[in-house]
Structure 1
């Protein structure tokens, strides 16, 4: 694991652009799976016996590229908010129009591994390097822009993955959950900003794991924003995350819309992408 002596953290005087103490990042998890693979969970909840293809879960996941990503982009455009879109390499292969639309809309594309079933901790070093190379290349070749940020499936890299990302030229990653602010990791001659993938306002655990209705996520956001602005005194940021196959659907997308509306109306809040957050934090540490 990365040792503390290789980490530089931001202090209490740090502020987001325009002097804001509170930062909010809107993430869209746009996810795909390798050929023959399906989401590990589905809307029915009860898994099939091992070794059987779960057509229900597979179809549920395919809502993302069919409808969900378009609805998420429409909502973000309505509020003129640029999001950070976690995008698997397989989507650049199978649904290139959607990935081009994300890029053309000015949103940040976060590399999200080749597929949701390709999790770095399951791979040896050579396999991790190849997955980084393959995923990066698929996105860059399609959009003409090399992604600078990475988040692994389920936010789970490996003890060496941040170093491999830094050595591959990545500027930030979200495979961490241990700070309220970005921090700088140094790995030999390379470094990378770590930006926690906060899970408090995230549709998948809220709706699928805990069985909450969509309004519960809105209430969670409202409480978190109120606490950040009126109870916290130190700089902070948090994510708002939807998955295109979960709250990319009408029953939940309205919450993403409403949260964006309320965030736009709030004073003292900075809204930005993970790439912008990384650059701003890095400058503050220089």
Structure 2
């Protein structure tokens, strides 16, 4: 039986690939994906702390807005204290909603990647023309605010249409974070040339863990530490990528921030053995060593 396939990449066991190393001879690359998201009031999609009632759903809207007003700033303080860079996955609506927050990450030198217009909408339900227009609008808005266009993209809700990789390559993107099928970057085929899939976590991601599975902050922090320790050992055999996905309205809550700080301090304590970096730098290093 022949199953329907996407045709974007071929099967390849991680134990049977050409070897490579990250800068400085490091074998494990670690990056933080900080999601900065803005939501429509009284309509559209949005993560829920508790089951929402009729719109306007004040409880969940205000809980999410806490992330931009308070939680994200506490995350920045923590990242500064630990000297950790971040890849900021920004809805373009953030440029108007919270320009001070975008400026703070810009001042840190963090990478700004595209994350659609808003997480109130799902990219995969758009027709091709609407999706192309959305990508163009989000890209142009971020480019105006940041002085350069983003090179990486994470779709809102990891939602893709059948042509999303083609549209991203057409729009000039170098990498996507949508596909979580590997611990190394993987070249994808598109109608407009190669697009690199940089690993983005769906396990070390606070939405599936804390909102979906109802894990505690301590459980999530333990997951981060255990994942890191195991991947550090595994990376002796293959260079790997470890991402951590964070949302300020979740991990910026004080009781969760304390647990997260301990986990990230554990990782930072091994910085002499690992490459702490951004998704864009991972893309550049891999592409230079393993061209499509």
- Scaled by the length of structure 1, the TM-score of the pair is 0.91
Q: Confirm or deny: 8 A CA contact 1:6 1:186 kept in the other structure.
A: no
Alignment pair present for 1:86 and 2:92: no
Q: How many residues align?
A: 282
* Residue 47 (structure 2) pairs with residue 41 (structure 1): yes
Bigger shift: residues 202-211 or 273-282: 202-211
**Aligned counterpart in structure 2 of residue 24 of structure 1, from 19, 30, 46:** 30
Q: 1:236 aligns with which of 240, 259, 263?
A: 240
Distance in 2 (alpha carbons) for counterparts of 1:70 and 1:243: 12
Alignment of 1:262 onto 2:271: no
1:116-147 deviations in Å (ceiling 9; x for gaps): 02222110111111111111111111221211
> Residue 42 of structure 2 contacts residue 57 of structure 2 at CA under 8 Å; is this kept in 1?
no
SS in 2 for 1:61: helix
CA distance in 2, matches of 1:228, 1:134: 38
What pairs with 1:107-122 in structure 2 (closer than 5 Å)?
Answer: 107-122=110-125
Map Cα deviations across residues 138-164 of structure 1 (whole Å, 9 max, x no partner): 111122121111101122222211111
Q: Which stretch of the first structure deviates more once superposed, 69-78 or 33-42?
A: 33-42
Q: Which runs of 4+ in 1 moved over 4 A?
A: none
Unaligned runs of 5+ in 1: none
Match of 1:218 among 217, 221, 224: 221
Q: Are the equivalent residues in 2 in contact too, given 1:6–1:185 (CA < 8 A)?
A: no
Q: Deviations over 1:218-266 (max 9, x none)?
A: 2111211221123563222221121011111111112332222111212
Q: State whether residues 38 and 61 of structure 1, in contact with CA within 8 Å, keep that contact through their aligned partners in structure 2.
A: no
Q: Does the residue aligned with 1:200 lie in a helix, a strand or coil?
A: coil
| Secondary structure, aligned partner of 2:194 | strand
CA distance in 1, matches of 2:101, 2:228: 31
Aligned residue among 185, 190, 207 for 1:182: 185
RMSD: 2.1
Distance 1:231 1:107 in 2: 28
Question: Within 1, Cα distance between the matches of 2:11 and 2:290?
Answer: 14
Question: TM-score scaled by structure 2?
Answer: 0.89
Give the drift of 1:180.
1.1
Contact persistence 1:43–1:208 (CA under 8 A) = yes
